[in-house]
Structure 1
Amino acid sequence: MARVLVPLAQGCEELEAVTITDLLTRAGVEVVTAGLDAEPVLASRGLKIIPDTSLDQALDQRFDMIVLPGGLPGADHLNNDPRIHSLLQRLADAGGYTAAICAAPKVLASAGLLDGREATGYPGTLEALGLTQVRLSGEAVVTDGRVITSRGPGTAIDFTLVLIERLVGKETRDKVEAGLVR
């Protein structure tokens, strides 16, 4: 069974965090949400989310993918946490998937995982970084190798369906998507 880590920072975008965890779970993926601290996560619009575990407890576990929800200041908290950068780099080096949506692709950029790749994010977020080694795209979801990025809350379903297809195949993606009655 595929395992995915979804780190949750204070101020994350709840629509993205919930969509990612919900749809991956519907696909039979084991999802572990991990808070950066020991507190319930207060998301950007006031929703309280209780993570499954703390990031410290998840550090030595095996994951096939790490998915970063965006939102502000959540993405900034992720970006300022060296444990996140270390986890991302370690998983990328091991051939796993790294994914981020909204403002969170800047965390992948800071970890050096977007160099030489095509990526997207919330409008203006990646552009503000002055990235010269990243090909910026306006597409809703961009997959470049084992790095997957997306633009924002409105693209969360499409983003997660791509994650499902990468992890467990097109047939499962199609089943999950059919159940959404889009």
Structure 2
Amino acid sequence: MDRRVFNSSVLAGSLAGLLLPGAQAEQAPRSLGKPVIGLLVYPGMILLDLTGPLTVFNIMQADVRLIAASMTPVATDVGIAVAPTHSFDAAPAELDVLFVPGGLKGTVDGMNDARTLDFVASRGELARFVTSVCTGSLLLGAAGLLKGFNATSHWYVRDLLPLMGAKMVADRVVTDRNRVTAGGVTAGIDFGLALAAKLTGEDNAKRIQLLIEYDPQPPFAAGSPERAGADSANAVLTQRGPLIRQAEQAARAAGQRLGVP
């Protein structure tokens, strides 16, 4: 196997020693009764958006499906490709969880791709939970899955959510009924633990947090525009400006298609 190609089975094996007391490493095929989590993978996504939550999902031994338009390995932001386990056509019609990661360029492409939107909309309509990290919520919004829901996204595009009928909430993780959305990149771990609590109980989620030693103590107080200050925030907005404008165009087009006033 190409070492640059990532598959969830590799991560599952590496975490076998971290399972909760009494648990056993899951062997393929996965047994029935475990939550089926479909993770959308698409070109240009941020790998950490995927692997943060996926680490949590594997420890809780969920039935994980990496779903892409085809079975071709999917390039990510860091040059490591992700090997899908299912294509759109072969993915289960009903999922316990639909999850969409972010990555602004890939997200915008997905917002403009009818096949991707149709897949996300069809699986989201039947899923027990509809979820995202980072700019993935823009894709959910473009698929019509956030109309009338509170939601968040990466800080530099979360103001676009109302264009598609959502109410923007500037929190790290936002839960509204069966919609769970999270902020940018590293918020994926917070999201994964929050969802684990819903699926397996708070005590189990706390043990998973301890197992992965998630106790953030960043070296700088610069992880939000408010803390980083105007100069840093404006520098990021300038750098990402062209893609943000493309995202706004895609969000406005989606809102018009969805009949958002």
1:3 & 1:48 partners in 2: Cα distance?
Answer: 23
- The aligned counterpart of 1:177 is 209
- The aligned counterpart of 1:82 is 114
- The aligned counterpart of 2:38 is 5
RMSD of the alignment, in Å?
2.0
Q: Which has the higher helix share?
A: 2
Count the aligned residue pairs: 181
User: What is the SS of the residue equivalent to 2:155?
Assistant: coil
1:40 & 1:88 partners in 2: Cα distance?
Answer: 19
Structure 1 position 12, deviation (Å)? 0.6
- The aligned counterpart of 2:193 is 161
- The aligned counterpart of 1:122 is 154
Q: 2:137 aligns with which of 98, 105, 108?
A: 105
Report which structure shows greater RCO (CA 8 Å, sep ≥6): 1
- When structure 1 is superposed on structure 2, of 81-90 and 49-58 the one drifting more is 81-90
1:9 & 1:132 partners in 2: Cα distance?
Answer: 21
**Structure 2: gaps (5+ residues):** 1-33, 216-261
- The aligned counterpart of 1:27 is 60
TM-score by length of 1: 0.88
1:119 & 1:86 partners in 2: Cα distance?
Answer: 21
Structure 1 position 112, deviation (Å)? 1.8
The answer to whether the Cα contact below 8 Å between 2:152 and 2:171 also exists between their aligned partners in 1 is: yes
The C-alpha deviation readout for 1:78-100, integer Å capped at 9, x for no partner, is 33343443344344443611101
- The aligned counterpart of 1:149 is 181
Structure 1 position 61, deviation (Å)? 4.1
Q: Does 1:48 align with 2:81?
A: yes
Runs of 4+ in 1 over 3 A off after TM superposition: 80-95
TM-score by length of 2: 0.63
User: What is the SS of the residue equivalent to 2:84?
Assistant: coil
Structure 1 position 129, deviation (Å)? 5.5
**Structure 1: gaps (5+ residues):** none
1:87 & 1:169 partners in 2: Cα distance?
Answer: 30
- When structure 1 is superposed on structure 2, of 32-41 and 73-82 the one drifting more is 73-82
The C-alpha deviation readout for 1:120-139, integer Å capped at 9, x for no partner, is 10123232355274221111
The answer to whether the Cα contact below 8 Å between 2:146 and 2:164 also exists between their aligned partners in 1 is: no
Q: Which has the higher strand share?
A: 1
* Bigger CA radius of gyration: 2
